[in-house]
Amino acid sequence: MPELPDIAAYIVALEARVKGRRLRGIRIASPLLLRTVEPAPEACADKRVRQFRRLGKRIALGLEDDHWLVLHLMVGGRLHWRDQPAAKLPAKRGLAALDFSNGTLLLTEAGSKRRASLHITRGSTTLDALHRGGLEVLEASLAEFGDAMRRGDRTLKRALTDPSVCSGIGNAYSDEILHRARLSPVALTARLAEAEIQRLFAAAQAVLSEWTERLCEDAQGRFPEKVTAFRDGMAVHGRYRQPCPDCGAPVQRIRYAANETNYCARCQTGGKLLKDRALSRLLRGDWPRSLDELSDS
């Protein structure tokens, strides 16, 4: 799922191409995409794009007369820019097209499940209902961040990826933040010492700032066509069994549902291996408890 740095890069690329231009029309190929009834898509035709906003992991395009198009790409949704007007939508993956005089913005979604959404609203106050209310970490103070983390007793991984706690952070960047902070993904927020909160806050701001700057710089030259959760330069996310760039130990993982958490046992858990639910059920008593046991097996 595109996260804060990816959404910021999309907005940079879109501002360069369509800000100030008139939206000729919206073509919707999938009826499951549109989640609102009023205003109708036709009401947005011929309105000029005035501004962009990020709402967590959503992209909001502000049009004339305070109309808003709010896109949530979910896991498999992606945006593509075509320089030709009225470009054809892909037959299987195409969900919608926004037509401009200088090109076409296409929305596609991989996979068979249609989870991406488009809300069309009028009035900037209507955007509040689409925002989960999570803290904007790059704009927050240490005290605000600490309060948000301690609001409930949950794992650090869950707290960082909960949109009602932190805005725009998902599976990929939470792994990178926790590795930078040298904290276990299953550590409980209520038990964090003040020094650990400070480390986590500094790591979150650094990781999000670095990747946002990097991706936005790339987006100034070309449209981000290949948005992915697995990027060169990441320390642990998507790097299972590869060496940690800081200590050389093999990156570990915890798998659950369709996601997995990646971490370095030496850097983050004092060498302790966190149990992978599926594999630990298979191995039972043979599950290695530390990096030393893993290397001996």
53 burial via Cβ count (<10 Å: 0-12, 13-18, 19+): middle
CATH number at residue 37: 3.20.190.10
Asked if 153 and 290 sit in the same domain, the reply is: yes
Asked if 30 and 122 sit in the same domain, the reply is: yes
Last residue of a domain, one of 80, 110, 130: 130
Contact, 6 vs 172, CB < 8 A? no
pLDDT (tens digit per residue) in 172-212: 999 999 999 999 999 999 999 999 999 999 999 999 999 99
Query: Measured between alpha carbons, how far is 33 from 16 in angstroms, rounded to an integer?
Result: 26
Last residue of a domain, one of 89, 110, 130: 130
Q: How many domains does the chain have?
A: 2
Name the residue range of residue 52's domain.
4-130
Model confidence at 221, pLDDT cuts 50, 70, 90, reads: confident
Asked if 107 and 172 sit in the same domain, the reply is: no
Is a pLDDT exceeding 90 seen at residue 257?
no
Asked if 51 and 143 sit in the same domain, the reply is: no
List C-alpha distances in Å: 247 to 174, 183, 250. 19, 15, 9
Last residue of a domain, one of 97, 130, 163: 130
CATH number at residue 246: 1.10.8.50
Query: Measured between alpha carbons, how far is 148 from 154 in angstroms, rounded to an integer?
Result: 12
What is the strand order of the sheet 117-122 is part of?
A: 77-82, 103-109, 94-100, 22-28, 47-55, 58-63, 67-72, 117-122
Asked if 231 and 208 sit in the same domain, the reply is: yes
Give residue for tokens 């200088």.
102
% of the chain surpassing 70 pLDDT: 93
H or E segment to which residue 23 belongs: strand 22-28
Asked if 55 and 115 sit in the same domain, the reply is: yes
Model confidence at 292, pLDDT cuts 50, 70, 90, reads: low
DSSP 233: T
**pTM (two decimals):** 0.92
Asked if 143 and 120 sit in the same domain, the reply is: no
Model confidence at 109, pLDDT cuts 50, 70, 90, reads: very high
Asked if 117 and 187 sit in the same domain, the reply is: no
* Helix (H), strand (E) counts: the chain: 8, 10
H or E segment to which residue 117 belongs: strand 117-122
Task: Tell whether omega for the bond before 39 is within 30 degrees of 0, i.e. cis.
Answer: yes
